[in-house]
Amino acid sequence: MIPIKVAGPVPSEPRSPATTALQYLQPGALNLTALPPLSLYIHFPWCVRKCPYCDFNSHEAKGELPEKDYLDAVRLDLEQSLPMIWGRKIHTVFIGGGTPSLMSAAGLDRLLSDVRTLLPLEIGAEITMEANPGTFEAERFKAYRDSGVNRLSIGIQSFNGAHLKALGRIHDEAEALRAVEIARSTFDNFNLDLMFALPSQTLDEARRDLQTALSFAPPHLSMYHLTMEPNTVFAKYPPALPDDDLSADMQDMILETTAAAGYGHYEVSAYAREGRQAQHNLNYWQFGDYLGIGAGAHSKISFPHRVLRQARYKQPGSFIDAAKRGNPVQEEHEIARADMGFEFMLNALRLVDGFDPNLFGERTGMNISAISKALNEAESKGLLYRDHKLIKPTELGQRFLNDLQEMFLAG
């Protein structure tokens, strides 16, 4: 007799993969022949000041940060999550926020020591830390590097002082330039985050921002179109933004300029020199697994016959208290079989060069025929190219990516 999973709270996963497979096997279950690569995301929730466009889980730091209490809670969170990922190696680590570079050098060293103590890290694993200009101190960043961070992601957003002020950033153009200099002299691998289609931005101003960034020869660039996210100050009080035609001109300029400078456009917003693609983010886009720990962090964990999503408590104080009580997870649910195709395509269609159709089966446990109707429709509209070895968005599909992704909602 095959045990049936009963309704109610999901228990901690057993340590034995064989037990997991038996316990959750049921009619209509998925059938993953191998588990995907696993990454670790660690959230540091504080920042100096909340930016008006930001919808991330970030909280303004008021007074001294409870760094020790928070890191204690993060370790508890990780310890309590271990049964779900027993025996699996961590391929990449990403420390995001908020502003993780507000963390002390000793705090970061303690955090990565805890990670190494509790988890098997892949040799040479990419370990990225987000940082913002205005929190840069050369000696502290050398200490971060010595603790094991080998890739820095810097939230520049713009090198134009007026635009930085409009975006509510705490740094000016001089601090932005200084931050990149420190990063370049301290880290072999780093990313620069820039935004375009900013309030009142001209095409020439967007070009100057990009040219300034390229003058530092960063291994990786992220170029984000400013969007008005719900529940932000900008959503409530929207500034005057470039129109669609000007935004499209900026996008064309970015594509041409980065290509001429030797950067490959491999994901909607990502450009990299050869061999410098962000491995952590690639794992997201290829529908890999990730354990998210810390306040508000999200997880996607696969088992042979199901895929689980989790979200931690968002408020730092609530997260710390919940971790002490033994369960910092606020929400938890399985991805329904009917939603699996959309969840996969939502991520994979961001890849400019597309994906092998076999990856769909490997990551979802389903046959590609499950989304054949949507594939046929997208192909007929010129939004998608496919053959037996490749599925990828066309140039038109990249332009109208949201429309393309939504076509898979119905399966």
Q: Tell me what the mean pLDDT of segment 295-323 comes to.
A: 97
pLDDT of residue 240: 76
* pLDDT band at residue 23 under the 50/70/90 scheme: very low
Taking each helix axis from N to C terminus, what angle separates 357-364 and 337-348, rounded to the nearest 10 degrees? 130
- Whether 5 contacts 26, CB under 8 Å: yes
pLDDT beyond 80 at 106: yes
The pLDDT, as a whole number, for residue 17 is: 29
Give start and end residues of each alpha helix (H) in 16-104: 17-24, 67-81
User: What does 55-78 look like in DSSP terms, one character per residue?
Assistant: -SS-EE--SS--HHHHHHHHHHHH
Dist. CA 271–CA 75, nearest whole Å: 34
Q: What is the pLDDT of residues 25-66, one digit of tens each?
A: 344 578 899 999 999 999 999 987 767 666 677 777 788 899
Task: Place 405 in a pLDDT band, splitting at 50, 70 and 90.
Answer: very high
Contact status, residue 288 vs residue 38, Cβ threshold 8 Å:
yes
Q: Which two tokens stand for residue 80?
A: 């309590």
pLDDT on residue 166: 79
Tokens representing 360 are 């769909």
Mean pLDDT of 190-209: 95
Give the CATH number of domain 341-411: 1.10.10.10
What's the pLDDT band for 384 if we cut at 50, 70, 90?
A: very high
Q: What is the predicted pLDDT for the residue at 281?
A: 97
Note the pLDDT tens digit of each residue in 361-374.
999 999 999 999 99
Q: Which residues contact 361 (CB under 8 A, 6 or more apart)?
A: 367, 368
The span from the CA of 306 to the CA of 111, in Å, is 30
In this prediction, residue 15 carries a pLDDT of 25
Q: What is the pLDDT of residue 313?
A: 97
Across the range 226-242, mean pLDDT stands at: 74
Q: Is the pLDDT reported for residue 357 higher than 80? A: yes
CB distance 7 to 258 below 8 Å: no
pLDDT of residue 138: 84
Whole-number CA gyration radius for the chain: 22
Tell me the pLDDT band of 288, cut-offs 50, 70 and 90: very high
Q: Pinpoint the alpha helices (H) of 261-371.
A: 279-285, 316-325, 337-348, 357-364
Q: Per-domain residue ranges for the chain? A: 38-282, 341-411
Give the model's pLDDT for residue 29.
74
More confident of the two residues 176 and 281: 281
**Is the pLDDT assigned to residue 211 strictly greater than 50?**
yes
Distances in Å between the alpha carbon of 25 and those of 2, 28, 32, 213, 262?
7, 9, 11, 51, 49
* Average pLDDT score, the chain: 88
Closest listed residue to residue 144, CA positions, set 122, 120, 128: 128
Count of CA atoms in the C-beta half-sphere (13 A) of 42: 26
Residues 6+ apart with CB under 8 A from 178: 133, 136
pLDDT digits (tens, 9 = 90+) for 61-104: 788 899 999 999 999 999 999 999 999 999 999 999 989 999 99
Tell me what pLDDT residue 80 has: 97
Has residue 164 got a pLDDT over 50? yes
Task: Assign 121 a pLDDT band (cuts: 50, 70, 90).
Answer: very high
- What contacts 12, CB < 8 A, 6 or more positions away? 80, 83, 84
The residue count for the chain = 411
Percent of the chain predicted with pLDDT > 90: 75
Check pLDDT > 50 for residue 243.
yes
Angle between helices 138-147 and 173-186 (to 10 degrees): 40
d(CA 63, CA 134): 17
pLDDT (tens digit, 9 = 90+) per residue, 257-287?
Answer: 999 999 999 999 999 999 999 999 999 999 9
pLDDT range class, residue 5, cuts 50, 70, 90: very low
Domain 38-282, CATH among 3.20.20.70, 3.90.1010.10, 3.30.70.20, 3.40.50.620? 3.20.20.70
Average pLDDT over residues 171-185: 89
